[in-house]
Amino acid sequence: NENNNIPNRLLRSRKISAVSKFGAIYYVKHLQRLTPLKYLILRNIDKRNRDNIAMASSAPLVMRLVGSSIKIAHRAGNIIRDVMRRGDLGIVEKGKDDLQTEADRSAQRCIVASLSKLFPNATIIGEEGPSDLNVTEDWLITESNIDFLKKHKCPDAFVNLKESDVVIWVDPLDGTSEYTQGFLERVTVLIGIAVNERAVGGIIHQPYYEHDTGDIGRTIWGLHGCGTGGILPVEPPSDRFLVTTTRSHSNSIVQSALDAIAPDEVLRVGGAGYKVLQLLEGKAHAYVFASAGCKKWDTCAPEAVLEANGGTLTDMLGRHYQYGKDVSFPNSSGVLGTVAGVSHDDILAKIPDNVKQAMSMY
């Protein structure tokens, strides 16, 4: 389980490092307290810490992007829980059915400040617009997930990737409406990595996911050519066809698409990130949203994670969205996601012309 207490952990690793450096002196001075065995253990921990720091800074760019984003999304999740615990959500209405809270603002500041410090030449676009990046040390995450870096090799396609070719799409809190109404499990933090217009990497952090052990929060990642982690994907049932869609942003076109597909059951839940997690967990076969409401930051990370696991995410006409730095934000032709093993084309074929027309108007 990931350690939430970053300041303490830093403190501990600094202490260990100091003991290791001055170990000989410490050993002479505190003979009774620090046995040779303890000293050797501390020195080993220090060496491991230093190896990890070296690995985190020398790994290929795309691996550092994913490794750091795993840590950063986790920190943003802590901020989201802190705001809720304090109770004052600071809700602002950005537009119709479109809220922003203190958690959206603070989580974005933490994510964008951390990413821009680590990757100054990448383009970073956050849902909440330009943020004040002058944040406390506590919100500046410079660590990387070492486990990810150690266990995975950089896919060949990204070996020569340049920072200036990367666009990072940040949704600091996906499912704001659910957050304000207490459907907390559906809240996610989304960090999507785009290269050459395509969503290739993504992090979906779920701050309120409850593990059987009682621990809270999980982080799912996906990278093209590398697979997914943080979740054990489950296949959906073979005897029923289940579709997931919006809870709070439905309209008649959204409903026509669902009627035409005629699934055995429609799950109405909030959050683009959460709906893709439902696909990976075998709770639904398809995510169908025939509306222009989602934006690039809603789908970049979920698309990359779903596709890294063999699924597909496109618009309602079967086209992949473009995620370059100059694209417009709205996903104006809707969202269709399918899990590995489900035919995307079969579902596309069922979408009626009036829906397709409405989705290609922009």
Ligand X SMILES: Nc1ncnc2c1ncn2[C@@H]1O[C@H](COP(=O)(O)O)[C@@H](OP(=O)(O)O)[C@H]1O
Q: Please report whether residue 291 would count as binding ligand X according to CB under 6 A.
A: yes
Length of the chain equals: 362
The smaller minimum CB distance to ligand X, of residues 98 and 346, is found at 98
Q: Which stretch binds Mg ion (CB under 5 A): 39-47, 174-182, 251-259, 320-328?
A: 174-182
Task: Outline where DSSP puts E strands in 6-148.
Answer: 92-95, 98-100, 123-126
Q: For residue 272, give both structure tokens.
A: 């683009």
Q: Please report whether residue 175 would count as binding ligand X according to CB under 6 A.
A: yes
Q: Which stretch binds ligand X (CB under 6 A): 35-43, 44-52, 171-179, 337-345?
A: 171-179
Q: Is 315 annotated as a binding residue?
A: no
Q: Is 258 annotated as a binding residue?
A: no
The smaller minimum CB distance to ligand X, of residues 157 and 266, is found at 266
Quick check: helix, strand or coil at residue 230? coil
> What DSSP character marks residue 277?
H
Q: 10 Å Cβ neighbour count for 178?
A: 22
Choose the contact partner of 246 out of ligand X, Mg ion, none; CB within 5 to 8 A by kind.
Answer: ligand X
Cα–Cα distance measured from residue 301 to residue 299, given in angstroms and rounded to the nearest whole number = 6
The answer to whether 208 and 202 are in contact (CB under 8 A) is no
Q: Please report whether residue 98 would count as binding ligand X according to CB under 6 A.
A: yes
The smaller minimum CB distance to Mg ion, of residues 94 and 153, is found at 94
The smaller minimum CB distance to ligand X, of residues 23 and 271, is found at 271
Choose the contact partner of 155 out of ligand X, Mg ion, none; CB within 5 to 8 A by kind.
Answer: none
Q: Please report whether residue 315 would count as binding ligand X according to CB under 6 A.
A: no
> What DSSP character marks residue 167?
E
The answer to whether 278 and 306 are in contact (CB under 8 A) is no
Residue nearest to ligand X (CB): 293
Choose the contact partner of 46 out of Mg ion, ligand X, none; CB within 5 to 8 A by kind.
Answer: none
Cα–Cα distance measured from residue 248 to residue 186, given in angstroms and rounded to the nearest whole number = 13
Q: Is 51 annotated as a binding residue?
A: no
- Side chain identity, residue 25: I
Q: Is 298 annotated as a binding residue?
A: yes
- Cβ contacts of 263 within 8 Å, gap of 6 or more: 241, 242, 243, 285, 286
Q: Please report whether residue 174 would count as binding Mg ion according to CB under 5 A.
A: yes
Question: Shortest approach of Mg ion to residue 303 CB, angstroms?
Answer: 13
Q: Is 185 annotated as a binding residue?
A: no
- Side chain identity, residue 230: G
Q: Which residues are part of the catalytic machinery?
A: 104, 176
- Binding track over 210-249 against ligand X, x by CB under 6 A: ------------------------------------x-xx
The answer to whether 143 and 73 are in contact (CB under 8 A) is no
> How many helices (H) and strands (E) would you count in the chain?
12, 13
Give me the residues that bind Mg ion (CB under 5 A), please: 127, 171, 173-174, 176, 298
Give me the residues that bind ligand X (CB under 6 A), please: 97-98, 127, 171, 174-177, 246, 248-249, 270-272, 291, 293-294, 298
